[in-house]
Structure 1
Amino acid sequence: MSVKPFASVVVGAAALALVAGCSGGETNKGGMPVGEGSGGRTVTLGTPTPEPSTTGTPKPTAPAKTTVAPPAAQITIVPGSFASKPAVQGLVAKYPLYYQALVQRKSDIIKTSFPAFFYADTAVNIEAARQSGWVMRPPGSVVVVGTANRPDGVIRVNLCRSQRMQWWNPKTRKWVIVAPRGTAEAIDMVRTGLGWTMYRMVRPVPKGINCSAVRYPA
């Protein structure tokens, strides 16, 4: 299957566009999966650390005490009953790299790991978050809750991200909890010469993605 070129890609400029709402428009296909025990893939990401609010000449300090480093952030991707779909398999393989770019706020990860159209769709928001000081704490798990066929051979994959996803607000100097029951997300996937890959983040999030009943493994 081939995908004809798309005319344009709309890029969101605000850093908070990375945060999706809890509900949104496609009806879940195949029922609501349960994240627990669904054979998810777990990947380790860098631990997000807020930057200091001020900079200056460092002062001499006493030798630091030996401390235990915080555990690296992990994200488990659970395909559930959609694991056999090629588009979902492509998402499971690629999605961790996307979150690595979000956590580290490095759009170059997208540039070197994804086609140009996905880089154009996401890089502006990643750079905006970096420049404004927003830091992501990734969700512990992401559960696939549905798929839908779209025009031009596109497959839309609907996801729910666990409650552990938070953002560090540099103005209030607090972690912001996005949603108590997780957040919805939709990603359009296309088939390229290298297999299925992420094409664009769907904004706004379509209605009908219900995350309230999803049980997350992490």
Structure 2
Amino acid sequence: MQSTLMIYDGTVPADSGVLRTGGVPLAPAGFSWPICGSFCGGPLQFFAHLPVEYGVLSVFVCQNDPGACEFWDATSGGNRVHLFPREELRPVEVPATGVTLLPAASAIRTHVVTLDPAEDGEDGDDDEVAPDAYDLARSGWKREPEERFGRQREVLGSLGGSPSYLEDDRLPACPSCTGTMEFAAHLEEGISAQTAMNLGGQLGYVFVCRDCREGAFLTN
């Protein structure tokens, strides 16, 4: 099993094109800042800029009145995921009001963890639940192999793989083609108040339909 962890790697300029949380979104010309469709009608907060092989995922979540707008639900209108082409992206003008930006932009580096299921408790018994790749990789993350304890708070999520402990009935359907969306990324809140994304203490999930260029977000 493999998991591509996203590891906190210090601060980065707000308009950087690298993998990051926070900062300002980069989008094609003419893009308008997304508005909450759940309750408040205010601008969404920009969470993450995620360059992937098939484009750039841009994640927005409502934080104007946490708890009032159902930002944890994929169909509530309280969040938005856009899939942009990689080329000709530019910083988006930030609305003058509303909770729109995180206090700091955090650079992310990736680290591929390869796990041997046999070493993590999987004995081949059909009645046993297979180990969760992301959960194992995150809990065991250490910068140096000889470190005694892990550094889980440095893990900001992962790219690809499968959604950790998410029931099949919560997998979002594409609003255009109605097919089940592909899992794209996990998001964790972050390591400090200055860098944290408010996920209500939950794990965030990013999904995408490449063909329709639609995205979805939810928390567990």
Q: Which has the higher helix share?
A: 1
TM-score after normalising by structure 1: 0.24
Per residue, is there more strand in 1 or in 2?
A: 2
Q: TM-score, normalised by structure 2?
A: 0.24
